[in-house]
Structure 1
């Protein structure tokens, strides 16, 4: 993995963007630096933090190779990711999938926005990877 970017350096000793109540250095930072996330929920939290911290390299490496896009699309100006709430975690099923339903909030050009997504994760080379997600109208 690469070195820290400006946003990561700034919050290293502050609360992690994933809302875990831990400091970033003790929560998502080790995963961003290459530690294997032990659950799909940890991976999902680390991906939210990567969005909040503009860590595109991590977003790409944590995306399953079968669904990974060629690049991360960027809004101009970029969205500001401000809140994450885990609604439901579904442990690994017989097909090797795990699901995490969450609510994410953001600011887009000063306007508040939010969505609820049910993300699907699968292991690839023994590591959890983001496969795809489905936007939901309400939490399940």
Structure 2
């Protein structure tokens, strides 16, 4: 299953839990969810912007997204932590990517991703952004 599909399933589950009132964000968790959404939007922009960037910058932005999610995860528990953990797991392949050639020496197991893999990961991040927006909007209602 690709990152987009994993994130779509994760987002659908979260949105359903919010709709069914199984998941109610605390004020602290709502603030963290808003922080995560803003951080991801800052890191990964619209497709036309991202696709014009060099691959090394695209990879940096994807890693920044993982950092935002990890920092938020470190500051919460319960369903939001589980959702953040699922998001990090979905984007985990990014951690094994590199944008530079190996030239001389080992690569510590990293691989050069194909251009479409960058697009897939960025699409997954955008879907996560939408999910966070939906989750925080539901918690306001």
- TM superposition score normalised by structure 2: 0.31
- TM superposition score normalised by structure 1: 0.31
Q: Which has the higher contact order (CA 8 A, sep 6+)?
A: 2
- Indicate the structure (1 or 2) with the bigger Cα radius of gyration: 2
More helix by share: 2
